[in-house]
Amino acid sequence: MSDRLNLDGRKEGVIHDEKSRYRRRLIGEGLVIVASILLAFAIDAAWAQRQLRTEERVALGALEAEFSANLEQVDRIIDTYLSDRERVAALHHSTPAELRALSQREISEMMLATTNMWTFDPALGATDALVGAGRLGVLRDPSLRQALSSFSNLVADAAEDVPPLRSFIEDIWRLEAAHGGPWTDPETERSWAGPIEGFSFLPRATAGDLIQVREDRRYMSLVGRFHLNAAYYVGELQRLRDQIVTVLELIGHAP
């Protein structure tokens, strides 16, 4: 006989086969465990990737709404300053007869233009949530990530031009009071939310009031300085506008 008996009476060949089957079973079970672990990792990775893409879609939607609102606001502010600059120029160059011939609305708009200060108050909720919380990596487009960071820097740059504006406008308001102001008009006194109400006790400016402040050299000098600083501020806002447009274009092309 070729197979020897073991102490327990079993043939060594049978024992060898059993051991081989046992090793194969262990290897098979090990492979199943490894495969299960790898599959679990793959599922987790796929789920995490899906979560990131979902988070990206939500972020892109919020950013688009936010920057569309910012674009509308910055356009209105720029247009307001440019229109007010033209009205102040007209106040400088108009004769008393021409000022007296203006309608009440034109008079109110011209007087308001001497003291009309608007500042950009950007919507930054989604931007701050991504930049401030270090979540920019959710966005796959590196150009969009860079554009958002640049926008935040430009907002800070523009904000530095606000204190000089406020300083001159406060000086103008004090002189305005010396001339019988402030004046207001429901037709022209408006905020972003609409007309400002509750000031009917304040008078509307007259052509005589316009002529009076126009003849006050200090008043008009401060108005000129205010609008000169406003021109620098508008320059910053135009840079911001360009960046807002860039961000919106990148969002539109996002995968």
- Only one residue has tokens 């002189």, namely 175
7 assigned to some structural domain = no
Report the C-alpha gap between 229 and 224 in whole angstroms: 9
Q: What is the per-residue pLDDT across 153-187, written as a single tens digit (0 to 9) for each?
A: 999 999 999 999 999 999 999 999 999 989 998 88
Q: What is the per-residue pLDDT across 119-134, written as a single tens digit (0 to 9) for each?
A: 999 988 888 777 766 6
Longest distance between any two alpha carbons in the chain, whole Å: 136
Helix axes 12-93, 217-252, angle to 10 degrees: 150
Q: Say what the pLDDT of residue 93 is.
A: 94
> What residue type is assigned to position 57 of the chain?
R
43 assigned to some structural domain = no
237 assigned to some structural domain = yes
Tokens of 161: 């031009």
User: Considering its fold, how many domains does the chain have in total?
Assistant: 1
Of 4-8, 63-67, 83-87, least confident by mean pLDDT is 4-8
Torsion angle of alpha carbons 43, 45, 48, 53, nearest 10°? -110
| Residue 191 β-bridge partners | 194
238 assigned to some structural domain = yes
- Domain with 199, as residue range(s), is 58-252
6 assigned to some structural domain = no
52 assigned to some structural domain = no
Q: What is the DSSP letter of 195?
A: E
Report the C-alpha gap between 56 and 138 in whole angstroms: 6
18 assigned to some structural domain = no
38: CB partners within 8 A, 6+ apart: none
User: Are 250 and 141 contacting, i.e. CB atoms less than 8 angstroms apart?
Assistant: yes
9 assigned to some structural domain = no
Element (H, E) at 191: strand 190-191
Report the C-alpha gap between 151 and 247 in whole angstroms: 8
Mean pLDDT (the chain, rounded): 82
In the chain, the percentage of residues whose pLDDT exceeds 70 is 76
- Identify the band that residue 41 occupies on the pLDDT scale cut at 50, 70 and 90: low
Burial category of 97 from C-beta neighbours within 10 Å (exposed 0-12, middle 13-18, buried 19 and up): exposed
3-class DSSP state for residue 5?
A: strand
- Exposure string of 14-24, with b = 16+ CB inside 10 Å and e = fewer, is eeeeeeeeeee
Q: What are phi and psi of 196, to 5 degrees?
A: -95, 120
